[in-house]
Structure 1
Amino acid sequence: MQITVIGCGYVGLVTATCFAEMGNRVSCVDTSTQRINALQRGEAPIFEPGIEALITTNLRAGRLAFSTDTAGACSRAEVIFIAVGTPSAADGSADISQIVAVASELGRTLDQPAIVVCKSTAPVGTACRVQSVLDHQCQRRQVAWQHRVVSNPEFLKEGAAIDDFMRPDRVVLGTDDADAERVMRALYEPFVRNHDRILCMSRRAAEMTKYAANTFLATRISFINEIASLCEQLGVDVEEVRKGIGSDQRIGHHFIYAGCGYGGSCFPKDIRAMLQMAAQYDMPMPILHSVEARNQQQKTWPLRMLKRELGNLHGRTLAIWGLAFKPGTDDIRDAPSLVLLDALLAGGSSVQAFDPAASDNIAQRYPEAVKEGQLKLLQDPYAALNNADALVLLTEWKQFRQPDFHLVAQRLRTPLVIDGRNQYDPQTMASLGLRHVGVGRQVAPPAAPVLREVV
């Protein structure tokens, strides 16, 4: 099948590469000449395991091409995916101006009917708006045919996006057009041959499905973090609680790990967009407001623990392991590390940090601190520990799971580990002479309950 993907960002590049891997001929378009030139050399602008190997393989096979010429790339396309950015606007709503601009350009330039697929995460009603834009342009040009618009939201996890695309839990198609559904089913059939996971629904329902999925997962994270906060006060180990509730098949173990908050390009942005959509209809959503508030509070947990253990942090040297919002990516958008770094650098602390992928992005965000030596981004995780007053774990990269704790204890000036991802066992750490502070794992004598007189 001849496919065009507009947008060579995270979603667009993974989509284009995976479709090409299945034998389709795919043209991927972007407005950035620098990005396109790099991709033509097989260099990916994103950090995603396995993506460059797939790009190189499909470039050499002639199934994948990159261009800045939208009209040329779409001239023979049967299916056109729109995968451009929908960043948060000032009021928290999703900015769909790039989607609308692409739709308008397609309406002006396409010389044949096509299936236009909205792949970007966008508010309910966006696909219908794209349809209206395309219809308007067709009427202006007085053409006899109509484009068919499908909503096909992505469900990719950074760090595992290729596997998610190749082996999807489900493929959601938003369309009421039988021909469009047939083509889209044929396109995705190789990815779901063992078990048909294609769900067809209305365009608006497909768009809402994406937002509902992400906000529900964020809710689970904020819920367990709130339970962890109470566990700290009651002398309960939240890890025992997590295992206890996760064993219930109705709940499961996914997304109930206490930590220092979620970040990234999806959950924070999608919750803000969902709240803004609800506000437009004067619809209160107290649960999602609480999810967002809990997460913002949770991101301050590492700083609060440092202050509790060390007191005044001015002049202190702190080591940080992990800067990306999650392992497997270099993405630092809304990462808990930014909240901690902002506070430490503003408060006069020195920071020695290591991350296997995200250091360059952090350096671009804090150029003055790096230049002045207040923030050191190191190439060796153990070098970050030298004479530090504490180690703070923020991202659970695999290489941090079983470090040399004897070396950790030797390098730290103060044997304190703030474990923002509950990676380590407190008893094991104590046996090695390290003080371990985990999320919801500070076991202390429970406070006496407040007795109220019964009237």
Structure 2
Amino acid sequence: MKIGIMGTGYVGLVHGAVLSSYGFPVTCMDVDAEKIDRLAAGISPIYEPDLDELLTGGIEAGTLSFTTSAEEVVQSSDVIFIAVGTPAMDDGSANLTYVHEVMHAIGKYANGYKVVVCKSTMPVGTNRSIANYLDGVLKTRNEPFRIDVASNPEFLRQGKAVSDSLSPSRIVIGTENEEAKRMLQTIYAGYMRQHVPFLYTNPETAEMIKYAANSFLGVKISFVNELALLSEKVGANIQDIATGMGLDDRISPHFLQAGPGYGGSCFPKDMQALVGVGQKNGEELYVVRAAVAANEKQKAKMVDKISGVLASNGSLRGKTIAVWGLSFKPETDDIRFAPSYDIISGLVARGAAVKAYCPQGMKQAERAWTDLSGAVAFCESEEDCARNADAIVLMTEWKQFKASGLDSIVKSMRGNVFFDLRNLFADHPRIRLLFDYYSVGSDERRLYSLEEA
């Protein structure tokens, strides 16, 4: 069985590389010729742990290839995965431009029976509209074969995408066609042997599962972040609160870590898209909408928190702030909708000079954040970033930051304020002796003293 992957982003590239490691002949297609040339040479355009090894292994084994030709992929593949981006538009709805381009290419070049699998996150009803379109095209072409369409949403965590692909939490297949179901079962036979849970449902339900899962996690993050803001005012400790909540197995401790807000390519756009689907169908999703608003509030509150400590009049003019971490989470270079962008923008707007360091996110930030060009100085290390700074703002909880030499770092700074927006150092035995330390979700002045530390 030959597999085609349309799109070589975080989802398509990882999915294609993993399937090729199982021995399937996989061809990945992208319109970006330079990107394809680099991929063919084994050079990944994204950072994802273990991905480079998979790419090299697939290329050397001859099971993984790359092309810019949609015609080649469509005509040579039995199963075609649509894994292109569905970015948010200004109104929050999903932009299906790239999906439509792939859909039109499949209708134009199909030369026999195919199974088209929607891997990208798509609004409810997209799967069926693709199926209807392809049926119409084939009738117009007077073709004797058919094309079946299935929904197979991805549940990859960036930074753990390869491991999630190799050992998924579940496989959701939305189709009403037995042949499509059978072919996907053949592709995912290894997961069946791993006893990975499989859920078979209709396309609309499969599409909703993806939006529902991401939105629920986003709601959970916004909930704990609002509790963190309240905890700071009443003298409670959000980490202990989260631990107490998480011990209830109906709640679990996952996604109860307070911070500067959620980001990335999934939660923000998927939650906005789900709100839009609700409005389109006359059903307001108040909880999801409130979580989106709370996330925006959380980022603004972090700017206020930093400004409130460093400046009595709200102006940060003359202050230099070192930002550690730009990617929306560790172990990825993805800076899309990262809280770091909004917080840095807020600090710059108040007059601060910002220095930044991220183990993987700086290249993406330099390329994408053109409006901040000249306002942010990108550094070669966290030590370089902190030098002569008035304060450090830890934005992303990269493991290497935990191992930083804080004793020497504080000596190189002009000030000694440390804003730990991920509570990475909350239990550090000496952090409060070295720095004027601020975490998220606790009133340091009430909970700690230098004598206790």
Q: TM-score range by the shorter chain?
A: over 0.9
1:364 maps to: 367
SS class of match (2:131)? helix
Cα distance in structure 1, aligned partners of 2:366 and 2:194: 45
How far residue 121 of structure 1 moved from its aligned partner, in angstroms, is 0.3
1:420 maps to: 421
SS class of match (2:323)? strand
Matched, 1:394 2:395: yes
Cα distance in structure 2, aligned partners of 1:239 and 1:344: 26
Using the size of structure 2 for normalisation, the TM-score is 0.95
Cα distance in structure 2, aligned partners of 1:210 and 1:162: 19
Cα distance in structure 1, aligned partners of 2:185 and 2:427: 50
Cα distance in structure 1, aligned partners of 2:110 and 2:367: 40
2:350 maps to: 347
- 1:405-416 aligned within 5 A: 405-416=406-417
Cα distance in structure 1, aligned partners of 2:352 and 2:317: 5
1:379 maps to: 380
Matched, 1:241 2:234: no
Residue 324 and residue 196 in structure 1: after superposition, are their counterparts in 2 closer, same or farther (change >3 A)? Answer: closer
- Once the two structures are aligned, what percentage of the paired residues are identical? 37
Q: What amino acid maps onto 1:73 in structure 2?
A: V
SS class of match (1:382)? helix
How far residue 310 of structure 1 moved from its aligned partner, in angstroms, is 1.2
Cα distance in structure 2, aligned partners of 1:215 and 1:386: 39
Please list every run of at least 4 consecutive aligned residues from structure 1 whose deviation after the TM superposition is greater than 3 angstroms: 365-371, 443-446
2:115 maps to: 115
Q: What amino acid maps onto 2:50 in structure 1?
A: G
2:154 maps to: 154
TM-superposition CA deviations, 1:354-412 (whole Å, max 9, x none)? 101111222224557654xx422111111111121111000000111232221232122
1:452 maps to: none
How far residue 427 of structure 1 moved from its aligned partner, in angstroms, is 7.1
2:208 maps to: 208
2:334 maps to: 331
Contact 1:302 1:392 in 2 (8 A): no
Cα distance in structure 1, aligned partners of 2:404 and 2:433: 12
Deviates more, 1:65-74 or 1:96-105: 96-105
Cα distance in structure 2, aligned partners of 1:186 and 1:410: 60
Deviates more, 1:306-315 or 1:340-349: 340-349
Cα distance in structure 2, aligned partners of 1:167 and 1:366: 35
2:451 maps to: none
Contact 2:173 2:199 in 1 (8 A): yes
Contact 1:228 1:258 in 2 (8 A): yes
Contact 2:83 2:120 in 1 (8 A): yes
How far residue 114 of structure 1 moved from its aligned partner, in angstroms, is 0.5
Residue 402 and residue 126 in structure 1: after superposition, are their counterparts in 2 closer, same or farther (change >3 A)? Answer: same
Matched, 1:315 2:315: no
Residue segments in structure 1 that go unaligned for 5+ positions in a row: 447-455
How far residue 430 of structure 1 moved from its aligned partner, in angstroms, is 5.3
Cα RMSD over matched residues? 1.6
How far residue 115 of structure 1 moved from its aligned partner, in angstroms, is 0.5
Q: What amino acid maps onto 1:161 in structure 2?
A: A
Contact 2:171 2:196 in 1 (8 A): no
Cα distance in structure 1, aligned partners of 2:13 and 2:394: 31
Q: What amino acid maps onto 2:381 in structure 1?
A: D
Contact 1:302 1:418 in 2 (8 A): no
SS class of match (2:188)? helix
- 1:23-422 aligned within 5 A: 23-311=23-311, 312-366=315-369, 370-371=373-374, 374-422=375-423
Cα distance in structure 2, aligned partners of 1:87 and 1:269: 7
The number of aligned residues is: 444
SS class of match (2:52)? helix
2:450 maps to: none
Cα distance in structure 2, aligned partners of 1:233 and 1:54: 49
Deviates more, 1:390-399 or 1:65-74: 65-74
Contact 1:262 1:336 in 2 (8 A): yes
Contact 2:6 2:80 in 1 (8 A): yes
Cα distance in structure 1, aligned partners of 2:293 and 2:305: 19
How far residue 429 of structure 1 moved from its aligned partner, in angstroms, is 4.1
Residue segments in structure 2 that go unaligned for 5+ positions in a row: 448-453
Cα distance in structure 2, aligned partners of 1:133 and 1:248: 48
SS class of match (1:351)? strand
Contact 2:263 2:338 in 1 (8 A): yes
Residue 286 and residue 170 in structure 1: after superposition, are their counterparts in 2 closer, same or farther (change >3 A)? Answer: same
Cα distance in structure 2, aligned partners of 1:217 and 1:398: 23
Matched, 1:10 2:13: no
